[in-house]
């Protein structure tokens, strides 16, 4: 049976440390989340961000917009937040409705307040091998979780299923920075199992139950980024946990693995941005 990579426990440890860090700050970080539309999953994520921020002494505000909101309104509001000295972190919850140009919206956020690290400026720094103001939260959380369990990354073959801007692409770069050999697979990849079977570390961020025990090698480290609700209402990931956990050396549960680490990383990013504000 695989060792369970317990993201919830580590999240609580990180948040306890952060609470002390925030209490010692000269001022209070303020995170503003822009939330467009009424996707129930997004609403839960956004409320969670506010809940955990407040738990550790960060001020958090959610600005809600109807799904038909005009792009100009969002751009104007982001510009106001950019110049408001009390606001130290800005997050636009994704996905955005189709009529909104996501890249234009993300590009409007001041890189110093870009708590997701999604602006072209920050992703440009990351992909140039430099340090961005913030690393995307889910990849940061995954690396922190692997480090906590002393899982070696240097020289390992890391296979990532999924090529999103939120997880797959930045994680690939961050794994390269840690000297992994990285393969990124996606919906058009042929013979997926032939590739996943060569993984020392397999990260699935593909959004569906696709990783079965015959797709991984013995003692692989399995990280499941997927989260969706089964017909019976149970939360599940991309990985068949029951069977894969018998072969893997380590595995993240869903829920309780990557999700809590994303929240912890977002809070770390918020405090880091505050501490670095005016310094860089
Ligand atoms: N939607 C799903 N994950 C994320 C995330 O990490 N940040 C933002 N802004 N939206 C998301």
Residues 6 or more apart whose Cβ sits within 8 Å of residue 57: 19, 22, 23, 28
Q: Indicate whether 280 belongs to any domain.
A: no
For 242-280, the pLDDT digits (tens) are 999 999 999 999 999 999 999 999 999 999 999 998 654
Q: Indicate whether 115 belongs to any domain.
A: no
- Stated pTM of the model: 0.97
Q: What is the pLDDT of residue 280?
A: 46
The domain that holds 59 is classified in CATH as 3.40.50.10860
Structure tokens at 66: 């109807």
Same domain, 159 and 241: yes
Same domain, 161 and 245: yes
Structure tokens at 220: 């692989």
Q: Indicate whether 149 belongs to any domain.
A: yes
Contact of 250 with 5, CB cutoff 8 Å: yes
Distance of alpha carbon 89 from alpha carbon 81, whole angstroms? 9
Same domain, 83 and 154: no
The domain that holds 190 is classified in CATH as 3.40.50.720
Same domain, 236 and 141: yes
Same domain, 106 and 158: no
Q: Indicate whether 44 belongs to any domain.
A: yes
Q: Is 218 a catalytic residue?
A: no
Distance of alpha carbon 178 from alpha carbon 156, whole angstroms? 10
Q: What is the pLDDT of residue 277?
A: 85
Give the chain's domain count.
Answer: 2
Q: Which of 222, 267, 255 is nearest to 13 (CA)?
A: 267
Same domain, 50 and 159: no
In the reported structure, the alpha carbon of residue 26 is separated from the centroid of ligand 1 by a whole-number distance in angstroms of 29
Q: Is 49 a catalytic residue?
A: yes
Q: Is 71 a catalytic residue?
A: no
Distance of alpha carbon 204 from alpha carbon 213, whole angstroms? 13
Q: Indicate whether 59 belongs to any domain.
A: yes
Annotated catalytic residue within 30, 113, 114, 116: 116
Q: What is the pLDDT of residue 209?
A: 65
Q: What is the pLDDT of residue 231?
A: 86
Distance of alpha carbon 153 from alpha carbon 162, whole angstroms? 19
Same domain, 214 and 101: no
What domain range includes position 66? 28-110
Q: Indicate whether 213 belongs to any domain.
A: yes
Same domain, 92 and 149: no
Nearest-CA residue for ligand 1 atom 1 is 94
Q: CA of 83: how far to CAs of 65, 109, 225, in Å?
A: 21, 10, 35
Q: Indicate whether 128 belongs to any domain.
A: no
- Which of 93, 95, 162, 170 maximizes ligand 1 atoms within 8 Å of its Cβ, making it the mutation to test the pocket? 93
Same domain, 164 and 204: yes
Ranges of residues in the chain with a pLDDT under 50 are 280
Same domain, 104 and 185: no
């Amino acid at each position: 049976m695989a060792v369970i990579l317990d993201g919830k426990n580590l999240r609580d440890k990180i948040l306890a440390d952060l609470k002390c860090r925030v209490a010692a700050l000269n001022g209070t970080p303020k995170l503003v989340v822009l939330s467009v539309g009424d996707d129930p999953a997004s609403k839960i994520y956004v409320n969670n961000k506010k809940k955990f921020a407040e738990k550790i002494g960060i001020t958090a505000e959610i600005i809600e917009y109807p799904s038909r909101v005009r792009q100009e309104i969002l751009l104007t509001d982001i510009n106001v937040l950019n110049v408001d000295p009390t606001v130290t972190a800005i997050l636009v919850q994704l996905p955005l409705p189709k009529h909104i140009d996501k890249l234009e919206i993300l590009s409007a956020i001041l890189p110093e307040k870009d708590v997701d690290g999604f602006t072209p400026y920050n992703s440009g720094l990351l992909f140039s091998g430099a340090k961005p103001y913030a690393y995307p939260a889910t990849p940061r959380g995954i690396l922190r979780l692997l480090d906590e369990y002393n899982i070696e990354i240097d020289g390992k073959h890391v296979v990532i299923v999924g090529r999103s801007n939120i997880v797959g692409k930045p994680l690939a770069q961050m794994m390269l920075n840690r000297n992994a050999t990285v393969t990124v697979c996606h919906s058009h990849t042929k013979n997926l199992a032939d590739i996943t079977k060569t993984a020392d570390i397999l990260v699935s961020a593909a959004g569906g139950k696709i990783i079965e025990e015959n797709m991984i090698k013995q003692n692989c480290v399995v990280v499941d980024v997927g989260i969706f609700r089964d017909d019976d209402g149970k939360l599940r990931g991309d990985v068949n946990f029951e069977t894969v956990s018998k072969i893997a050396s380590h595995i993240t549960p869903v829920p309780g693995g990557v999700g809590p680490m994303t929240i912890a990383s977002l809070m770390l990013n918020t405090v880091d941005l505050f501490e670095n504000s005016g310094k860089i």
